[in-house]
Amino acid sequence: MKKLILGLDGMDFDVALDLNLKNILQVQFGRIAVPISKILGQPTSPEVWASFLCGEHVKMIFTGRKRIWLLKYLVKLKRVFPFISIGLGKKTTGRVVSFPKLNKETWVDLPNVEEVNSPYYSYTNEIFEYSKQFSEDKNLDDFKNNILGVYERDTERIISEVKLEITDPTCDILFAYLHFPDMFNHLWFQDLDILYSHYQKMDDFVKQVLDLVGDTHVIIVSDHGFDFSKGEHSDFGFISSNKFMNFPKDIMGLGKLMYEYAGANK
Ligand SMILES: [Zn+2]
């Protein structure tokens, strides 16, 4: 493995800096521009990750089922995911079910690239499953516990994949993705002590990964930040590297760079 790209959904530049998350910040860090969804007026994960993976702007939204929304469910969901535009009385797209299908080639499709838990590839959709259960009969505490379980499983999955690929000379890039800290942000943005302890835990996880990969080039990237006063996504992503490099101006440029790293043309 020559490069490890760690996608940390919703990693916020200011929080990483304020909490001085040394492992996540690595040796060089900054903000990176990302596409803003025309529908929601903020960056959304399907669109930003698709644009990163394709190296060009790709408009995407989460898939959802059209259904009649129950008011109780709406209020509950809106509290946890304030960015969901509910539009009572207006047309809604339904509840979030999963990442949609991406019918485009990406740099992850290249033979010398591997992925673990990537949106559009081996992402498990467990978070959406739990969101669905939460909407139906579970309480918020159960939901939070299930989400913490997903975090544990996904970080373990990444660690074992990194261990597997680190000695593989045919792997030029490993892309590993976590739907965190985004889920932490949404669930604990009104309880910053707990939220920040989750961030510290993530920094420990990143240290574990960095220790494993030694001299391998590691880039950490996020699809957006978080506005804690509004409880919704903020406009810029985060980027860091353990080696000095020229950061591309936006996430599409970073995607193009992945093609280059993999020895392919975009
Ligand atoms: Zn989010």
- Residue of 51, 248, 96, 104 lying closest to 186 (CA atoms): 96
Q: What value does the mean pLDDT take over residues 43-55?
A: 96
Q: Which tokens hold the place of 42?
A: 């903020």
Spans of all domains in the chain: 3-261
Topology of domain 3-261 in CATH is Alkaline Phosphatase, subunit A (3.40.720)
Q: Count other C-beta atoms under 10 Å from residue 29's C-beta.
A: 17
Cβ atoms of 202 and 8 within 8 Å: the answer is yes
**Which residues contact residue 34 at a Cβ distance below 8 angstroms, ignoring those fewer than 6 apart?**
43, 48, 51, 223, 224, 235, 236, 237, 250, 251
Amino acid at the residue 75: V
- Residue of 118, 73, 112, 114 lying closest to 96 (CA atoms): 73
For residue 266, pLDDT over 90 is answered with: no
**Cα 208 to ligand 1 centre (Å):** 25
**Cα 182 to ligand 1 centre (Å):** 5
Q: Which tokens hold the place of 105?
A: 């080639």
Q: What value does the mean pLDDT take over residues 203-225?
A: 97
**Cα 212 to ligand 1 centre (Å):** 29
pLDDT of residue 96: 64
pLDDT of residue 55: 98
Q: How many angstroms separate the CA atoms of 26 and 205, rounded? A: 13
**Cα 10 to ligand 1 centre (Å):** 6
**Cα 189 to ligand 1 centre (Å):** 11
Q: What value does the mean pLDDT take over residues 105-118?
A: 97
Task: Give the CA distances from residue 6 to residues 60, 94, 219, in Å, rounded to whole numbers and listed in that order.
Answer: 21, 30, 6
2-41 pLDDT, tens digit per residue, is 999 999 999 999 999 999 999 999 999 999 999 998 888 8
Q: What value does the mean pLDDT take over residues 174-191?
A: 95
**Cα 26 to ligand 1 centre (Å):** 24
Q: What value does the mean pLDDT take over residues 174-198?
A: 95
**Cα 170 to ligand 1 centre (Å):** 34
51-103 pLDDT, tens digit per residue, is 999 999 999 877 665 444 455 566 667 667 765 554 443 333 345 677 888 99
Kindly report which listed range (26-35, 78-87, 167-176, 209-218) carries the lowest average pLDDT score. 78-87
pLDDT of residue 88: 40
**Cα 184 to ligand 1 centre (Å):** 9
Residue 181, preceding bond cis, omega within 30 degrees? Answer: yes
233-248 pLDDT, tens digit per residue, is 999 999 999 999 999 9
Q: What value does the mean pLDDT take over residues 205-213?
A: 98
Cβ atoms of 150 and 131 within 8 Å: the answer is no
122-159 pLDDT, tens digit per residue, is 998 888 888 777 766 667 888 899 999 999 999 999 99
Alpha helices in 21-139 (DSSP H): 22-25, 45-54, 71-80, 126-136
Q: How many angstroms separate the CA atoms of 48 and 37, rounded? A: 9
**Cα 210 to ligand 1 centre (Å):** 25
**Cα 265 to ligand 1 centre (Å):** 32
Q: What value does the mean pLDDT take over residues 174-184?
A: 97
Q: How many angstroms separate the CA atoms of 251 and 238, rounded? A: 10
Q: Taking each helix axis from N to C terminus, what angle separates 192-213 and 140-165, rounded to the nearest 10 degrees? A: 10
pLDDT of residue 83: 59
Amino acid at the residue 136: E
**Cα 231 to ligand 1 centre (Å):** 9
**Cα 207 to ligand 1 centre (Å):** 24
Indicate the SS3 state at residue 67.
Answer: coil
**Cα 125 to ligand 1 centre (Å):** 14
**Cα 111 to ligand 1 centre (Å):** 31
**Cα 242 to ligand 1 centre (Å):** 26
**Cα 120 to ligand 1 centre (Å):** 17
pLDDT of residue 87: 43
